[in-house]
Structure 1
Amino acid sequence: MGTNVTIAQVREQLKQVFDPELGVNIVDLGLIYEIELMDDQVHIRMTLTTPGCPMHDTIVGGVHRALEEMSGSVKVHVDVVWEPRWTPEKMSEAAKEQLDYF
């Protein structure tokens, strides 16, 4: 990935990945728990809105595509975890506003 890519840039790139059911990006939904950069690798620790989410493969595939667009030589590792469990309170204010969640 190189030393010139930052976690902030990775997070911004991940905003291109949307939950297709909610129409909100996975960063604003609060699904990204951790981003770790190591040499030519990026490790993402994330969750989904519900276990057994039918969009699991679509969302994880979107993470891979978005980050590979940044650098074709990057190796992307995605860990989908269920703890801590996602709750609507993890959403950004923008996502809450978009979904009328108050």
Structure 2
Amino acid sequence: MDVITNNTLRCTIALAALESVVDPELGLNVVDLGLICQVDFDDAAGKIFVQMMLTARFCPMGESLINAIARVMEATFPFAGITVLQTFDPPWDHSRISPEGKRFLNR
């Protein structure tokens, strides 16, 4: 589970906050599930870009997860504009799940 970032310290803060966003179908947070791909900070523009994936292209909870991620990031970084982008390249697979997540899911 590697997250690409241009600011390791702030990304660590973002990921800690995003652990509160739980996939309702699996009961596991989006960080340990490996859904967060990239978190970049554009200080000049005052924006943060979060790139995420879903476990399936037509995930029924996709929009809900995107909105929850945006809300958590807005609360954590209140003076930044937040953009959450979705990607399917590469597709999500079980190798993205953290060791903690695998224990939680008994994998």
Instruction: Verify same fold: TM over 0.5.
Output: yes
The alignment status of 1:25 with 2:29, answered yes or no, reads yes
Structure 2, unmatched stretches of 5+, are 1-6
Structure 1, unmatched stretches of 5+, are none
Code of the residue aligned with 1:7 in structure 2: it is C
Among 11, 14, 18, the alignment partner of 1:14 is 18
In the alignment, which residue of structure 2 is the partner of 1:36? Answer: 40
1:71 CA drift (Å): 3.0
Which runs of structure 1 show a deviation greater than 3 angstroms over 4 or more consecutive aligned residues?
none
Whole-angstrom distance in 2 between the partners of 1:78 and 1:72: 15
The alignment status of 1:48 with 2:54, answered yes or no, reads yes
Count of matched residue pairs: 98
Whole-angstrom distance in 2 between the partners of 1:19 and 1:9: 20
Give RMSD over aligned pairs.
1.4
TM-score, normalising length: structure 2: 0.86
Whole-angstrom distance in 1 between the partners of 2:83 and 2:77: 14
In the alignment, which residue of structure 2 is the partner of 1:79? Answer: 85
Code of the residue aligned with 2:20 in structure 1: it is Q
Identity score, percent: 30
1:41 CA drift (Å): 1.1
